[in-house]
Chain A
């Protein structure tokens, strides 16, 4: 058999395993990962891209990735991949990897040594510790994010750290906390196998989470009946699979949820038993609106939803009253199992917390909660927005394991676990992303207290809204210093004062946590190029440099280095020296330390070794009497969640009302902060596309993906185009009150916005739509709204659609 025959055989074996399911997969995996085939060694890793958390088998030969196979043993994807996962093995091989530290001197980025780079960072921190901000990402691995949190909160004694997940799912976080008293979805992806109805709330999983979406489509291929209802502001690929498309006005989702609740009450079809046993009611206090809100009784709550009749909701949302009745009818039928899905559409919303709360409330009120296939499920866009950002304390208010810096008991526990002197951790919540960058763009005398930001694993130069104000402005102010760790040149590295080359994905050890609480692990498989190094090492090296210079924060209560690490014989391992970094498994050490935090909020994790063996485990993971470790599919549900006692049925044991009840909130409909007018008559919505992941840093360097979707574009309605004199391929200027760019028009393209509305993807750094978007954000989550602002359009000329 020649090599190509062998490869064809392997490809067919993988496809057969995916068709036949677990039994065949089990046979297949014995071959995979245990012995090299054709000189190729195979190891498992989660995909580098979205929050679905597909597992892949990575084939390595001669220290290069040569093949990718969907992992047939992974419950998330069962061997399947999307077009990005199919190409993920090419992500490290763009032609322009960053390979040396670069420092800006006389306007130019010039190579320096790592030692010099670490000194520069230490100098900046020592000069003004309170002015230093760390800005990370939902692509940080769990140990990387944990190390950054410990460095800033336990070492520097500030809370000046936040992450780009602030821009993508912070509203989901605040809503989970407001509803259940603790963050993260209670349900999981198993819902896709059992639901009768899927409702997508401003969500396009057919493009953004295609493998997850295929689990539902797969059921249809087997002849099962599953109803898909797509609620959105434009037709997308998901719409093509939907039986019902409900086109809403921007912010119409608030009204739709209120309308369903109104009808459930009016028709008496809400789940009285579930509500009486397990729910309480809540609303914002007018004088002092906080995330805690105030308790209200059921009668008061009912009076507040009274005005949201189907007809009133039709006025507010644009969705016909008959469709509101249809939705309420579905929720009123408890024989059905209903899964609600959402992602950026509900989170990037100036009332994101409110609309998240209301959708949870619809499910709680109707009793469509806690059964397989029957509940609200938020999705995330990044591979570890959940596992890292939300869990290890990288948000400016948080501590690892769901703790809060404002809570004295949580601070004390963290100081104990980190062996810190009492009082080291600050009780002052740090600046959230938008505030951090606002301050970075102001002079000190204007209140610009942040003078140094270290960015790791993200690209704010492209992704911060109203970018000229919130990003570019800082680059014109003397004394502001931007440090960026990344793998490829980006808009952010090009604007930086110091650039650090990073290792990516399987060039280092790592752990991610996906959207269903699944913690995943992988080992380093290939070397990073040139002098690129692990982000986690970079953080530890800076901490050590500060330690060596006598910074008191880098010592624990016993005078040891904050990241003190020993070998099996108890001797200190100098992990700050990159040559020694892999002498021990730093990921394992950090993870085992982090585990100590996770029991407080019942987010228990298994030992590191369990994740080495598994394709991810969903927390809480608890040890059974026989010594094995058991994951949890559904939280707060008897028989599923190990912390719910027998006979409880459901128990919301972190209830904010301290009575084991979930909160059904009332929030009124509120219009968007900026709406089209005569000067700026169009809505602008921004988002992602199937081929590119976020700001395109990796996927635009994968030739087939770049060729498939080479540049950003402007989607607009045919009739609007006609009135503007715009033809397909014409160049159009898109302008808001904040900025303007020119884009190529795409009429009747992949997505179809309604009249008066346009869409632009944000992956293309050459066409930075975030110069145009709005910086307004949700008052609780501080998450900005990228989905709606007012723009005007002008045809510029015939385009050179390249």
Chain B
């Protein structure tokens, strides 16, 4: 399960901010961090990277959101899955 850190450039209008926070707070995949200077830190843990980028696309499209900018991406699971697919003897042979 990839783990992603990100920053949201927040809406300046209060109703849009409220709607965004409501959306984020009800999402169990999201952990909110500090907010400062119109930016919000968050961490997202999803089943797949695609699910994470879908979430970012959805958040970006919300009223007033300036951008959702990823800052950290751990994808060690990608290699684990590939190793499992390749089998133990093949996993390192291509390097």
The chain A residues found within 8 Å of chain B, CB to CB, are: 4, 7-8, 10-21, 59, 61, 63-64, 66-70, 72, 79-83, 85-87, 89-90, 93, 97, 99, 210-211, 213-214, 217-218, 220-223, 527, 529-530, 703-704, 707-708
Given A14-B72, A59-B74, A69-B72, residue A86 in contact with residue B41 (CB < 8 A): no
26 pairs, CB–CB < 8 Å, chain A vs chain B: A8-B3, A10-B5, A11-B3, A11-B74, A12-B5, A12-B41, A14-B71, A14-B72, A15-B72, A16-B33, A18-B5, A18-B7, A19-B7, A19-B41, A61-B76, A70-B69, A86-B70, A97-B94, A213-B67, A214-B67, A218-B67, A220-B66, A223-B38, A530-B94, A703-B49, A704-B49
Q: Mark B34-52, 1 if CB is under 8 A from A, else 0.
A: 1111111111010011100
Closest to A217 in B: B66
Q: Contacts of A8 on B, CB cut-off 8 Å?
A: 3, 31, 43, 45
Residue B6 CB within 8 A of the other chain: yes
Q: Contacts of A14 on B, CB cut-off 8 Å?
A: 5, 71-72
Whether B66 and A19, one on each chain, are in contact in the complex, defined by CB atoms closer than 8 angstroms, is no
Whether A20 and B36, one on each chain, are in contact in the complex, defined by CB atoms closer than 8 angstroms, is yes
Given A12-B31, A97-B94, A221-B38, residue A81 in contact with residue B70 (CB < 8 A): yes
Name the contact of B3 in the complex, choosing from A7, A61, A89, A220 (C-beta under 8 A).
A7
Whether B12 and A67, one on each chain, are in contact in the complex, defined by CB atoms closer than 8 angstroms, is no
Cα–Cα distance between A72 and B41 once the two chains are bound (Å) = 13
Q: Contacts of A70 on B, CB cut-off 8 Å?
A: 69-72
Cα–Cα distance between A18 and B39 once the two chains are bound (Å) = 9
Cα–Cα distance between A93 and B80 once the two chains are bound (Å) = 13
Name the contact of B67 in the complex, choosing from A7, A79, A217 (C-beta under 8 A).
A217
Cα–Cα distance between A464 and B59 once the two chains are bound (Å) = 38
CB distance from B26 to the nearest CB of A (A): 19
Cα–Cα distance between A223 and B49 once the two chains are bound (Å) = 32
Whether B12 and A220, one on each chain, are in contact in the complex, defined by CB atoms closer than 8 angstroms, is yes
Q: Contacts of B7 on A, CB cut-off 8 Å?
A: 15, 18-19, 79-80
Q: Contacts of B42 on A, CB cut-off 8 Å?
A: 15
Cα–Cα distance between A799 and B43 once the two chains are bound (Å) = 39
Cα–Cα distance between A87 and B66 once the two chains are bound (Å) = 21
Q: Contacts of A68 on B, CB cut-off 8 Å?
A: 72-73, 75
Residue B21 CB within 8 A of the other chain: no
Residue B82 CB within 8 A of the other chain: yes
Q: Contacts of B36 on A, CB cut-off 8 Å?
A: 19-20
Closest to B76 in A: A66
Whether A93 and B78, one on each chain, are in contact in the complex, defined by CB atoms closer than 8 angstroms, is yes
Cα–Cα distance between A176 and B62 once the two chains are bound (Å) = 41
Whether B75 and A11, one on each chain, are in contact in the complex, defined by CB atoms closer than 8 angstroms, is no
Cα–Cα distance between A8 and B43 once the two chains are bound (Å) = 7
Whether A90 and B71, one on each chain, are in contact in the complex, defined by CB atoms closer than 8 angstroms, is no
Whether B70 and A222, one on each chain, are in contact in the complex, defined by CB atoms closer than 8 angstroms, is no
Given A8-B31, A15-B6, A220-B12, residue A93 in contact with residue B71 (CB < 8 A): no
Given A15-B5, A221-B39, residue A83 in contact with residue B71 (CB < 8 A): no
CB distance from A31 to the nearest CB of B (A): 13
What 10 A-B pairs come out closest when comparing CB atoms? A11-B5, A15-B41, A221-B38, A14-B72, A15-B5, A66-B76, A217-B66, A80-B69, A221-B9, A86-B70
CB distance from B62 to the nearest CB of A (A): 13
CB distance from B88 to the nearest CB of A (A): 14
Whether A218 and B38, one on each chain, are in contact in the complex, defined by CB atoms closer than 8 angstroms, is yes
Closest to B79 in A: A64
Whether B94 and A99, one on each chain, are in contact in the complex, defined by CB atoms closer than 8 angstroms, is yes
Whether A222 and B37, one on each chain, are in contact in the complex, defined by CB atoms closer than 8 angstroms, is yes
Whether B67 and A210, one on each chain, are in contact in the complex, defined by CB atoms closer than 8 angstroms, is yes
CB distance from B92 to the nearest CB of A (A): 9
Q: Contacts of B34 on A, CB cut-off 8 Å?
A: 16, 19-20
Whether A7 and B74, one on each chain, are in contact in the complex, defined by CB atoms closer than 8 angstroms, is yes
CB distance from B5 to the nearest CB of A (A): 3
Cα–Cα distance between A343 and B46 once the two chains are bound (Å) = 36
Q: Contacts of B9 on A, CB cut-off 8 Å?
A: 214, 217-218, 220-221
Whether A707 and B12, one on each chain, are in contact in the complex, defined by CB atoms closer than 8 angstroms, is no
Q: Mark B6-37, 1 if CB is under 8 A from A, else 0.
A: 11011110000000000000000001011111
The chain B residues found within 8 Å of chain A, CB to CB, are: 1, 3-7, 9-12, 31, 33-43, 45, 48-50, 53, 56, 66-67, 69-76, 78-79, 82, 94-95
Name the contact of B66 in the complex, choosing from A7, A15, A218 (C-beta under 8 A).
A218
CB distance from B43 to the nearest CB of A (A): 5
Whether A90 and B41, one on each chain, are in contact in the complex, defined by CB atoms closer than 8 angstroms, is no
Closest to B45 in A: A8
CB distance from B80 to the nearest CB of A (A): 10
Given A11-B72, A66-B79, residue A527 in contact with residue B66 (CB < 8 A): no
Whether B95 and A63, one on each chain, are in contact in the complex, defined by CB atoms closer than 8 angstroms, is yes
Cα–Cα distance between A113 and B35 once the two chains are bound (Å) = 57
CB distance from B83 to the nearest CB of A (A): 10
Closest to A64 in B: B79
Cα–Cα distance between A85 and B37 once the two chains are bound (Å) = 24
Closest to B9 in A: A221
CB distance from B27 to the nearest CB of A (A): 15
Name the contact of B94 in the complex, choosing from A79, A218, A529 (C-beta under 8 A).
A529
Given A19-B36, A59-B74, A66-B75, residue A87 in contact with residue B5 (CB < 8 A): no
Whether A18 and B50, one on each chain, are in contact in the complex, defined by CB atoms closer than 8 angstroms, is no
Cα–Cα distance between A61 and B80 once the two chains are bound (Å) = 12
Cα–Cα distance between A80 and B8 once the two chains are bound (Å) = 10
Cα–Cα distance between A97 and B82 once the two chains are bound (Å) = 15
Q: Contacts of A220 on B, CB cut-off 8 Å?
A: 9, 12, 66
CB distance from A690 to the nearest CB of B (A): 10
Q: Contacts of B38 on A, CB cut-off 8 Å?
A: 218, 221-223
Q: Contacts of A63 on B, CB cut-off 8 Å?
A: 95
Whether A81 and B69, one on each chain, are in contact in the complex, defined by CB atoms closer than 8 angstroms, is yes
Whether A708 and B67, one on each chain, are in contact in the complex, defined by CB atoms closer than 8 angstroms, is no
Name the contact of A218 in the complex, choosing from B4, B39, B45, B53 (C-beta under 8 A).
B39
Q: Contacts of B56 on A, CB cut-off 8 Å?
A: 83
CB distance from B79 to the nearest CB of A (A): 6
Q: Contacts of A18 on B, CB cut-off 8 Å?
A: 5, 7, 39, 41, 69, 71
CB distance from A21 to the nearest CB of B (A): 8
Closest to B11 in A: A221
Q: Contacts of A210 on B, CB cut-off 8 Å?
A: 67
Cα–Cα distance between A304 and B7 once the two chains are bound (Å) = 50
Q: Contacts of B11 on A, CB cut-off 8 Å?
A: 221
Whether B72 and A221, one on each chain, are in contact in the complex, defined by CB atoms closer than 8 angstroms, is no
Closest to A80 in B: B69
Q: Contacts of A69 on B, CB cut-off 8 Å?
A: 5, 71-73
Q: Contacts of A211 on B, CB cut-off 8 Å?
A: 69
CB distance from B16 to the nearest CB of A (A): 11
Whether A15 and B3, one on each chain, are in contact in the complex, defined by CB atoms closer than 8 angstroms, is no
CB distance from B2 to the nearest CB of A (A): 9
Whether B67 and A15, one on each chain, are in contact in the complex, defined by CB atoms closer than 8 angstroms, is no
16 new A-B pairs (CB below 8 Å) besides A14-B72, A210-B67, A218-B67? A10-B5, A15-B43, A18-B5, A19-B35, A68-B72, A69-B5, A70-B70, A72-B71, A80-B69, A80-B71, A83-B70, A93-B82, A213-B67, A218-B39, A221-B12, A708-B53
